[in-house]
Amino acid sequence: MFTGTYTALVTPFKNGKVDFKSFENLIKLQLSSKVDGIVPCGTTGESPTLSHEEHNQVIEFAIKIAKGKAKVIAGTGSNSTSEAIKLSKHAEESGADGVLLVSPYYNKPTQEGLFLHYKKIANSIKIPCVLYNVPGRTSKEISSETIFRLSKIKNITTLKDATGNIDTGSEAINIVDKNFSVISGNDSITLPLIAVGGKGVISVLSNILPKEVKKMVDLALSGKISQAAKYHHKLWRLFNDIFVETNPIPIKTALYMAGIIETNDFRLPLCKMNNENKKILVKAFNDFGYKF
């Protein structure tokens, strides 16, 4: 079971290749801020455009830097069950603490197909599995009934709820037992979800503001909801404006402007922000007190 603050890491690029120097800088920022864990090769890490070799290298590198200092949940999901198994086995062999498994995209499986997909992956490895429910990306939601069935599989321990709907997360919390955790996949509803029993967040904003996000989450998990709410309201505009364009375009742009990563490179079909949205992003950070 995973609890606390986990950062969904961007994957920096330079001259068409993974920029491991910038990636190390980013990971060390997370470690110095005492986040509970990092998540390489998720949606924020532009995983769909990484080759299998790059994917494995990024995960191995993240584990090498973070091992013993923060947990590493490796993004290993795929719309191909056999491919997800292959990536998950590699992550396990490399020393990952768990795997993040996005629900299959494009195929549009039935709920039974989703259940069998996750069951087969979980049975192929021993480390914990995190279900990743993000219908806005995949077009297919994991139903509450399917989540309940999957929660009974020993090493499926956590749900990342990125539906953006507090009711969906609340229902999941109601149906699973205390040994299964539901964490937010949307920064803006982290506090509301924790208030009804959620256990943390896989955060995008914590790439650049890990201390602030962690403080909010730690306060909330310790029952200090009113104090956590002060951080929530202070961060709320950023929680939203880092999605003014498709993630990870805004957060990667912010990291570049902050000098945390060396270049602002993306892989097509993602591209650099348009100027008007960039102005919105910069203003949100400036108003927060973060000056580029």
Name the DSSP letter for residue 242: T
| Rama region for 56: left / alpha / beta (φ>0; ψ in -120 to 50; rest) | alpha
> In residues, how long is the chain?
292
Q: Which residues pair with 72 in a beta bridge?
A: 38
Residue type, 67: K
Rounded to whole angstroms, how far apart are CA atoms 111 and 155? Answer: 20
The single residue of 118, 132, 231, 256 carrying the catalytic annotation is: 132
Residue indicated by tokens 């997370």: 30
The single residue of 6, 71, 140, 160 carrying the catalytic annotation is: 160
b/e per residue 182-195 (b: at least 16 CB within 10 A): bbbbbbbbbbbbbb
Q: Would residue 132 show up in a list of annotated catalytic residues for this protein? A: yes
Q: Which phi and psi angles does 200 have, rounded to 5°? A: 155, -155
Catalytically active residues are: 132, 160
